[in-house]
């Protein structure tokens, strides 16, 4: 889906880029579909960060499309980082479950110390955001270089770790690692977006005709710090409620205007340029809008983002009288930029620390001003209000 069709303040359809087989360089046709309602269930946006447990398709496309069309976003500053993802060069950030720490795993720094003893009374069983930030701090040397942090289960002798954790054990074995024998290198990774497209409890967004469910939506139920597995609510509960709302609203079918011209393909060199820009954006967001935030760093992130957007617009510019070139990856890059800006501006506006959002320059909560949800409107304004 490349665009939401909006007429007279209501979504009446969507544009689809058709994936048709053909010779390299062939145009990609756009089909416009009329719809009584459109429901976005496109998942999260973990790919906005360089380190994520999310799949490659989690590029925030549905969130970006909804916002461009005029729907409000909410709580975009609240991104949950899982504390313990596998940290090996060229390996995906495979999630190492909290259940490992529940069975007694310790966290050790590069000096072999159990550093959680000085962080939280629950040690390794502290809340996700606390553990993730502690690992992030331990993983940064005084000169800014990365230091290793390890998960240690070598002392756990009363259970068969391979039998208890067969999936994790198999994944580690591919890299020559064993829970019972080795220190496992870990680092935090972007895991779940508590924010998203603002909806009511029936999946309705602030834009008539548009509904959202799943991680792409923000119902507000996760607050600032989602509890593990509460994401099931998004699909099992709010997905069903959104479907019921669509049926109850029974909006009329309207015929939209003609579809836009077909996408003209990018050259291989342009595709490579897009990929490089995505990588630069992901690295910038990890540095400037990751676990430990502050104003100067986030403003540097906004400068990086503006430079990335400018270069993407140059690629997207029409070639003479021809329609603008595009591709799936270029579309994803634009979506990632859109999500990145909503995260940065929302995080800058929330001058406190709460849940998954932590600012070094405002390390405490300020309930009087910020015990509220954030809303990010089409004009990029951030406001705070109680729902």
pLDDT value at residue 167: 97
pLDDT at 143: 66
Q: What is residue 343's predicted lDDT score, i.e. its pLDDT? A: 98
The residue written with tokens 């939506």 in the block is 217
pLDDT for the residue 27: 74
Q: What is the average per-residue pLDDT within 11-30?
A: 77
Which has the minimum average pLDDT: 79-88, 123-132, 262-271? 262-271
Least confident residue range of 87-91, 160-164, 366-370, 371-375: 87-91
22 pLDDT band, cuts 50/70/90, is low
Q: 153: exposed, middle or buried (C-beta count within 10 Å: 0-12, 13-18, 19+)?
A: buried
Q: Is the pLDDT of residue 163 over 70?
A: yes
Element (H, E) at 383: strand 382-385
* Residue ranges of domains in the chain, CATH in brackets: 3-78+194-385 (3.50.50.60), 84-188 (3.90.700.10)
Closest CA to 350 of 74, 20, 19: 74
Determine the Cα–Cα distance for residues 358 and 227; give it in Å rounded to an integer: 17
- pLDDT higher than threshold 80 for residue 254: yes
Select from 170, 136, 191 the least CA-distant residue to 360: 136
Report helix, strand or coil for 382.
strand
Distance (Å, whole) CA 13 – CA 5: 5
Write down the pLDDT at residue 262. 85
Collect all residues with Cβ–Cβ distance below 8 Å to 361 and sequence separation of at least 6.
294, 295
In the predicted model, is pLDDT for residue 165 greater than 80? yes
Between 377 and 234, name the one with better pLDDT. Answer: 377
Give the residue-averaged pLDDT of 198-214: 97
**pLDDT given for residue 93 in this prediction:** 92
pLDDT band at 233 (very low <50, low <70, confident <90, very high): confident
Q: Which helix (H) or strand (E) holds 217?
A: strand 217-218
- pLDDT per residue as tens digits for the range 288-310: 999 999 999 999 999 999 999 99
pLDDT class of 21 with cuts at 50, 70, 90: low
Quote the pLDDT of residue 118.
87
Look at residues 205, 245, 218, 258 and name the one whose alpha carbon lies nearest to residue 70.
205
Mean pLDDT of all residues in 241-262: 94
* The pLDDT of residue 324: 65
pLDDT of res. 236: 87
Concerning whether 128 is annotated as a catalytic residue, the answer is yes
- Inter-CA distances, 219 with 78, 204, 225, Å: 13, 10, 13
By mean pLDDT, which of 9-23, 99-113, 290-304, 362-376 is the weakest? 9-23
Contacts with 224 (C-beta within 8 Å, 6 or more apart), sequence order: 75, 78, 194, 354, 355, 356, 357
Helical residues (DSSP H) of the chain, grouped into ranges = 61-69, 98-102, 128-138, 161-164, 166-173, 232, 238-249, 268-288, 295-316, 328-349, 367-370
Work out whether strand 382-385 and strand 217-218 pair parallel, antiparallel, or are unpaired.
Answer: unpaired
Summary mean pLDDT of the chain: 93
Which one of the listed residues 128, 241, 341, 350 is annotated catalytic? 128
pLDDT of 168 above 80: yes
**In the predicted structure, residue 319 carries a pLDDT above the cut 70:** no
Q: What is the pLDDT of residue 23?
A: 53
């Amino acid at each position: 889906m490349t665009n939401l069709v909006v007429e007279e303040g209501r979504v009446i359809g969507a544009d689809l880029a058709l994936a048709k087989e053909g010779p390299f360089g062939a145009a990609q046709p756009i089909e416009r579909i009329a719809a009584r309602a459109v429901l976005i269930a496109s998942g999260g946006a973990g790919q906005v960060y360089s380190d994520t447990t999310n799949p490659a398709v989690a590029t925030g496309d549905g969130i970006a499309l909804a916002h461009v069309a005029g729907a409000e976003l909410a709580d975009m500053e609240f991104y949950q980082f899982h504390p313990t993802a596998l940290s090996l060069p060229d390996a995906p950030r495979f999630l190492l479950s909290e259940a490992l720490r529940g069975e007694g795993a310790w966290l050790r720094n590069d000096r072999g110390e159990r550093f959680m003893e000085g962080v939280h009374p629950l040690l390794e069983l502290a809340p996700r955001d606390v553990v993730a930030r502690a690992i992030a701090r331990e993983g940064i040397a005084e000169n800014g270089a990365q230091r290793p942090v390890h998960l240690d289960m070598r002392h756990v002798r009363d259970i068969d770790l391979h039998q208890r954790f067969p999936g994790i054990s198999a994944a580690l074995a591919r890299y020559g690692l064993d829970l019972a024998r080795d220190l496992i290198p870990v680092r935090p990774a972007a895991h779940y977006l508590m924010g998203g497209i603002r909806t009511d409890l029936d999946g309705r967004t602030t834009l008539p005709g548009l509904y959202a469910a799943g991680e792409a939506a923000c119902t507000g139920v996760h607050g600032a710090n989602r509890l593990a597995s509460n994401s099931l609510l998004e699909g099992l509960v709010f997905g069903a409620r959104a479907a019921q709302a669509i049926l109850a609203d029974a909006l009329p079918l309207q015929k939209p205007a003609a579809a836009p011209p077909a996408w003209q393909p990018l050259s291989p060199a342009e595709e490579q340029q897009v990929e490089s820009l995505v990588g630069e954006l992901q690295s910038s967001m990890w540095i400037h809008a990751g676990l430990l935030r502050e104003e100067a760093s986030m403003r540097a992130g906004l400068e990086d983002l503006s430079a990335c957007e400018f270069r993407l617009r140059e690629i997207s510019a029409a070639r003479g009288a021809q329609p603008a070139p595009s591709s799936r990856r270029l579309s994803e890059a634009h979506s990632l930029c859109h999500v990145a800006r909503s995260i940065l501006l929302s995080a800058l506006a929330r001058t406190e620390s709460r849940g998954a959002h932590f600012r070094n320059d405002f390390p405490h909560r300020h309930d009087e001003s910020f015990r509220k949800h954030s809303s990010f409107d089409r004009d990029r304004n951030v406001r705070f209000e109680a729902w």
